[in-house]
Amino acid sequence: MRTSISGLGYATSIAALLAAAPALSAQMQATSSIDAVTVYPDAATVTRIAEIDLPAGATSLVFADLPNAIDPGSLRVEGAANGQLGIGAVESRVSAAPVAPVNNALETKIKALRGEREGVQSALDALEAKKAMITRFGQTSPEKLSPDAAPLDIEKWSSAWDAVGKGLKQTGEDLRLARASLRDLDEQIRTLEQARQRPRPNAGPHRDVVVELEAGAPLKGRVSLTYRVAGAGWRPIYDALLDTGAASRKPSLELVRRASITQRTGEDWTGVSLSVSTVQARRGVQPPEMDTQRLAFWEPVPARPMARGQTFQKNEVGAVSDQRLREDLPASAPAPEALKPAQEQQADLQGNAYQAAFRIPGRVDVPTDGSTRNVRIGSRALEVDLTAKTVPALDQTAYLTARFVNEEDAPLLAGDISIHRDGMFVGRGRLGFAAPGDSADLAFGADDRIRVSRVPVRRKENEPTWFGQTKTEIREYKTIVRNLHDFAVKVNVVDQIPISENNAIVIEQLPATTTPTEKIVADRRGVMGWTYTVAAGEAKEIRLAYRMKWPADRDVVFQNVPNPKGPAPLTQ
């Protein structure tokens, strides 16, 4: 933690001010707002500003309700005032979530609705009893309907039926209304009870930061509090816009860099000065310690008996179109003024030998709900070297590849990239990390005017005899690359021969093989490359031949060896 003392008039020693301070200090709640935020890939640094109006003497300035995820070791306080201002101790403490006060109006409303519901329920019960009585009356024999228990006259049966039907109809309608009223009351009570139980946003534990200040006389000034907080980060995304050029100009690449920012720190960033930095804030500050390693014989661990019934379980592991907007106008209307293309704002690069930060222009809002905010942080026009690359043993297609050099002072972090070629979106890919001065390759889709074919021309197997107990196999392939463009194209062909890490298996490259221009591609043993400039209409032939030998009493199998640099970026 670092503190500083500053003033518009002059500075005073903290020790002298604190020595003269009284034992107790007045407490003041700081009214602060977030002024600036620097977002790292795995954290963020937040700067709060509080305007102060202090009396003479000691004051405890409290920054309340800050996120609990603050790193106390990152707290830094600075200040400036129009008088003598001293900054003393800075304390961080965790406070429990505040208990929401009882809403008396809400409780009164719930109580009234429950009383009304009891009345409707009583009426509903009475109507149910009435309906049951009418139903039983309608099922009574005719001789029991007369007061003297004599059979009811037949001419009165119709009146009795009408009376029963009318009673059932009216009771049924009253029941329907009562049940609807009961459902409505239940819904109202449920809604109010949920509102009463719903916790307020960010109701978890929070952190208060108390800054001890000492003023020699009443003064006004400003105090800034800076802290690092988890729950925030950004990731790079890119747009690669390739212009393949023509006879009159060279190909060029515009690389647009953007930052995708999200945060769940518990506090909204509203109208802040925003920067993004390439520093990994939470990676660590020192290398790991390496212990001594000993080689010993393996000793089996005795199996531990399982309890009865116990079993083993397995572990389961937006681009904007260049098309102009046109407005339909009457024929007599004057011609509209020509529209100027909008210019997208981009960040200013502020960096040194160890880090790079991009300051976003203007003020930015980033809510704490985890939503994504994409901002443009820069673009650069780059010279590229175009090559049609093909791996015919796996895919007999040539893919246009552009190689460029990162000429910026900031590294290109690994991230997703949208691929555009001559104004057309061709897919998405992944850009690997490239430090300043490093070269990088990007693929821009298939080149249909480069025809590639790879065919086997010889495969010979020699079975073992009494004179030689060794099995031999010879394989030879021919690859033809034909340029159908009306201009020369640089083509790179990648192929392989198997390797052996066993002395009993011998692999020899035969003289029929066309001499490769690159004997080992990307540090992958056995992988070789041929790079040529193929003229318009020209065809280039490449031969690859090798012999494999191994003991006849053993079987062999081809195995893929992992790439030491990891999998290549994919495009889709």
Identity of the amino acid at 492: N
pLDDT in tens, 520-540: 998 899 999 999 999 999 999
One-letter-per-residue 3-state SS of 158-207: HHHHHHHHHHHHHHHHHHHHHHHHHHHHHHHHHHHHHHHHCCCCCCCCEE
pLDDT at 123: 87
Q: Is the pLDDT of residue 565 over 50?
A: yes
| Backbone φ, ψ for residue 18 (5° rounding) | -70, -30
Q: Is the pLDDT of residue 322 over 50?
A: no
In our burial notation (b when 16+ CB lie closer than 10 A, e otherwise), range 512-547 reads ebbebeeeebeebebbbbbebebeeeeebebebbbb
* Percent of the chain whose predicted confidence (pLDDT) is above 90: 42
pLDDT at 35: 95
DSSP string, 336-390: PPPPPPPPPP-PEEEE-SS-EEEEPSS-EEE-SS---EEEEEEEEEEE-EEEEEE
pLDDT at 515: 95
8 A C-beta contact, residue 56 and residue 83: no
The CATH code belonging to domain 449-551 is 2.60.40.3680
CA distances in angstroms from 24 to 36, 61, 213, 344, 368, listed in the order given: 33, 13, 12, 55, 37
Confidence class for position 564, pLDDT limits 50, 70, 90: low
pLDDT at 124: 85
Give the range with max mean pLDDT: 131-145, 166-180, 235-249, 403-417.
Answer: 403-417
Q: Is the pLDDT of residue 263 over 90?
A: yes
- Quote the CA–CA distance of 473 and 505 in Å, as a whole number: 12
For the residues 332-352, what does the mean pLDDT come to? Answer: 53
Q: Which residue in this structure is represented by tokens 């107990």?
A: 469
pLDDT at 398: 95
- Quote the CA–CA distance of 265 and 367 in Å, as a whole number: 9
Q: Is the pLDDT of residue 269 over 90?
A: yes
Partners of 213 in beta bridges: 59, 87
Q: Is the pLDDT of residue 173 over 60?
A: yes
pLDDT in tens, 377-387: 888 899 999 99
| Backbone φ, ψ for residue 257 (5° rounding) | -105, 130
- Quote the CA–CA distance of 560 and 393 in Å, as a whole number: 14
- Quote the CA–CA distance of 551 and 545 in Å, as a whole number: 21
For the residues 506-511, what does the mean pLDDT come to? Answer: 93
Helix (H) or strand (E) holding 538: none
Tokens of 238: 């890119």
CB atoms within 10 A of CB 402: 23
* Measured CA angle at 540 (ends 534, 542), to 5 deg: 130
Per mean pLDDT, which range of 66-75, 166-175, 275-284 is the poorest? 275-284
Tokens of 19: 């020595």
Tokens of 419: 């691929």
Confidence class for position 493, pLDDT limits 50, 70, 90: very high
For the residues 51-62, what does the mean pLDDT come to? Answer: 92
Q: Is the pLDDT of residue 101 over 80?
A: no
8 A C-beta contact, residue 76 and residue 270: no
For the residues 162-172, what does the mean pLDDT come to? Answer: 79
For the residues 80-107, what does the mean pLDDT come to? Answer: 81
pLDDT in tens, 383-439: 999 999 999 999 999 999 999 999 888 888 899 999 999 999 999 999 988 988 899
- Taking Cα atoms as reference points, which of 366, 392, 382 lies closest to residue 431? 382
Q: Which residue in this structure is represented by tokens 């000993």?
A: 294
pLDDT in tens, 208-241: 999 999 998 999 999 999 999 999 999 999 999 9
Confidence class for position 327, pLDDT limits 50, 70, 90: very low
Q: Is 156 helix (H, G, I), strand (E, B) or coil?
A: helix
Instruction: Report the number of secondary-structure helices (H) and strands (E) in the chain.
Output: 3, 27
Domain ranges of the chain: 2-98+203-230, 106-197, 233-281+346-445, 449-551
| Global confidence as pTM | 0.61
- Quote the CA–CA distance of 253 and 421 in Å, as a whole number: 9
For the residues 280-288, what does the mean pLDDT come to? Answer: 69
